[in-house]
């Protein structure tokens, strides 16, 4: 009875779902369960680590935060969450490895070996209509960041015409900004009725 939605809370679920509210108000065991759950809601449930997060400090990190050994792999990790690290003025960088870069390198090597064509990524153009038609068809298996079912669906709705369209939806397709996707699509379809509001 609790809807699956971003930033959903039990309180909000009861406001949105009359049946859940009725259960809460009429069944003591449900009321006790939900009251207990609301007290626990939002507190950390476990310590987690970012696989590629590195904290950078101008002094030894122990001058700022307590550390601990990660029992999973023996690495040294901070005991503070990312937001606390940022508020202390520490820099957290994510150093991510992408298998896709290796795949691209191998593809370039295979093209050279089999067709004797030198592909220079810096010379690629971004205005090939066939590429945008392929993406709009939803046939995006193997296309980095466009291959999930949700992104495929979005690509078909978007009907991208340029690289900017694709960059925008990739930026929007994550928790938080995701709620702006319908407004973005509507604005793209009817650009005359777009109102831009800049908050300072």
Would you list the DSSP string of 74-108? --EEESS-HHHHHHTT-EEEE----HHHHHHHHHH
**In angstroms, rounded to a whole number, what is the distance separating the alpha carbons of residues 101 and 120?**
14
**In angstroms, rounded to a whole number, what is the distance separating the alpha carbons of residues 131 and 112?**
22
Residues 36 and 81 in one domain: no
Residues 115 and 135 in one domain: no
Q: How large a percentage of the chain has pLDDT more than 70?
A: 95
Task: Please name every residue paired with 76 in a beta bridge, in sequence order, or none if there are none.
Answer: 69
Q: Which of 89, 62, 93 is nearest to 78 (CA)?
A: 62
Residues 71 and 30 in one domain: no
For residue 17 the two structure tokens come to 């779902």
Residues 6+ apart with CB under 8 A from 91: 55, 56, 57
> Does residue 192 form part of some domain?
yes
> Does residue 4 form part of some domain?
no
> Does residue 5 form part of some domain?
no
Residues 115 and 131 in one domain: no
> Does residue 172 form part of some domain?
yes
* 42 against 37, higher pLDDT: 37
Out of 36-40, 64-68, 95-99, 111-115, least confident range: 95-99
**In angstroms, rounded to a whole number, what is the distance separating the alpha carbons of residues 133 and 156?**
9
> Does residue 3 form part of some domain?
no
The alpha carbon of residue 86 and the mean position of all alpha carbons in its chain are separated, in whole angstroms, by 19
**In angstroms, rounded to a whole number, what is the distance separating the alpha carbons of residues 151 and 103?**
21
Task: Please name every residue paired with 130 in a beta bridge, in sequence order, or none if there are none.
Answer: none
Phi, psi of 117 (to 5 degrees): -115, 130
Residues 153 and 182 in one domain: yes
Residues 132 and 156 in one domain: yes
Residues 134 and 199 in one domain: yes
Residues 140 and 198 in one domain: yes
Residues 134 and 191 in one domain: yes
Residues 57 and 76 in one domain: yes
Q: State the total domains in the chain.
A: 4
Return the pLDDT at 17. 92
> Does residue 109 form part of some domain?
yes
Q: Which of 95, 99, 101, 97 is nearest to 121 (CA)?
A: 101
Residues 148 and 196 in one domain: yes
For 136, other C-beta atoms within 10 Å of its C-beta total 17
Range of the domain at 115: 98-124
pLDDT digits (tens, 9 = 90+) for 22-35: 999 999 999 999 99
CA angle 16, 20, 25 (to 5 degrees): 115
Q: Where are the alpha helices (DSSP H) in 52-180?
A: 82-87, 99-115, 129-136, 149-158, 163-172
Residues 137 and 176 in one domain: yes
> Does residue 47 form part of some domain?
no
pLDDT digits (tens, 9 = 90+) for 109-145: 999 999 999 999 999 889 999 999 999 999 998 888 8
> Does residue 48 form part of some domain?
no
């Amino acid at each position: 009875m609790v809807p699956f939605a971003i930033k959903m809370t039990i309180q909000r679920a009861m406001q949105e779902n009359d049946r859940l509210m009725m259960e809460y108000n009429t069944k003591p065991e449900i009321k006790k369960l939900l009251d207990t759950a609301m007290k626990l809601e939002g507190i950390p449930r476990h310590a987690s680590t970012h696989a590629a997060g590195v904290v950078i400090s101008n002094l030894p990190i122990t001058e700022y935060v307590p550390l601990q050994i990660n029992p999973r792999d023996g690495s040294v990790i901070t005991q503070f969450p990312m937001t606390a690290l940022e508020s202390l003025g520490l820099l957290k960088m994510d150093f991510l490895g992408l298998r896709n870069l290796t795949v691209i390198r191998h593809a370039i090597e295979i093209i050279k070996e089999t067709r004797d064509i030198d592909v220079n990524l810096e010379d690629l153009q971004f205005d090939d209509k066939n590429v945008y038609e392929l993406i709009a068809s939803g046939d995006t298996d193997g296309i980095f960041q466009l291959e999930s079912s949700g992104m495929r669906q979005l690509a078909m709705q978007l009907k991208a015409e340029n690289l900017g369209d694709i960059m925008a939806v990739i930026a929007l397709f994550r928790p938080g900004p995701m709620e702006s996707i319908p407004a973005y699509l509507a604005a793209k379809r009817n650009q005359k009725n777009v109102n831009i509001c800049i908050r300072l």
